[in-house]
Amino acid sequence: MNYNPILVVTGEPNSIFLEIFFKVIKKNKTINPIILISSKKLLSMQMKKLRFKKKIKLLNPLTLDEYKLDNKSINLINVEYHPSKAFEKISIKSNKFIDNSFKLAFKIIKKNKIHKFINGPISKKNFLNKKFLGITEYISKKFKTKKTCMLIYNKNLSVCPITTHLPLKLVTKEINKKLIKEKVSLINSFYKKRFGLNPKIAILGLNPHCESVHSYNEDEKIIKPSINYLKNKYNVSGPYSADTIFLKVNRKKFDVIIGMYHDQVLTPLKTLYEYDAINITLGLPFIRISPDHGPNEKMLGKNKSNPTSLLKAIQFLDKNWLKLKKV
């Protein structure tokens, strides 16, 4: 393949993803071609509904090497899906389309050695159906990858939750020294290859003020020993209290803040930077990014969704593909 495409999968068809995709390709000029895996019928119906016009170029996934691609058209690999209207209620009806889209994308990645992959959001309730915590775990399973890391990236500050889409009551059972060490190692490797630096990493405690009145204290038994071990190899410090680490005077000291659970770090980051963040999965044999938003069913068809996160994802991959190989 004499070009380096960005491979994009729609994900849940009844989401805001194609709307923001249209907005991004309308205003953004990418160096590398974008290949979209989606349904031609769905695409046409949503383009009409959202009053977006662009030529569609159908591609054969078996002969991608033969095409000379640019972004003057939407480069589409069609996956069969037959909606009755542009936007429908999210349900299990779309599961087969989503699964077929991902399977096709993974075949293309493996065959053509593509290193840049973006997926739209999915409904965890309907598509994953309690089999996986999130799409990160779903993709990791497909590529038999055991060590992965969810990094929510912003150029000023990134965050990583040790546990991902896990109910709070289960967090304490999942936190362990091995997991903390794995996440730090993956983050450090990514920053060294991407930016040429050893990132300054802050690790948060689990309990308020890193203290507990109970006999078993995770901060003392798990988190502190992990940090003491990691200090010998990485630029790591902590544990820090979650209620003050995101103050400007504190957060500016770090490149990455690692928390023990999802909302501990994602809530403050999104409050600070809103849509200017992307979800990068580290540890896969390619770079997988998703815009940092869900299907957002309430906004379907309104043409009011903010495309910033997808724009940042495409710009990130478009600019840095050479440095991102095998991260």
CATH 3.40.718.10 range(s) for the chain read: 1-145+284-327, 149-277
**Domain 149-277 sits in CATH 1.10.390.10:** no
- pLDDT score of 70: 87
Rounded CA separation 72/80 (Å): 24
Digit-coded pLDDT (tens) for 103-157: 999 999 988 778 899 999 998 888 887 777 788 888 888 898 989 999 999 999 9
3-state SS class at 261: coil
**Domain 1-145+284-327 sits in CATH 3.30.565.10:** no
- pLDDT score of 71: 87
Residues linked to residue 36 through DSSP beta bridges, in sequence order: 8, 76
- Smallest CA-to-CA distance from 24 within 44, 8, 42, 12 is with 8
Q: Report, as an integer, the average pLDDT of 198-202.
A: 97
- 10 Å CB burial of residue 181 (0-12, 13-18, 19+) is middle
DSSP-assigned states of every residue in 296-309: -GGGTTSS----HH
Rounded CA separation 106/42 (Å): 21
The whole-model pTM stands at: 0.89
Are 42 and 84 contacting, i.e. CB atoms less than 8 angstroms apart?
Answer: no
Rounded CA separation 172/55 (Å): 51
Digit-coded pLDDT (tens) for 43-65: 999 999 999 999 999 999 998 88
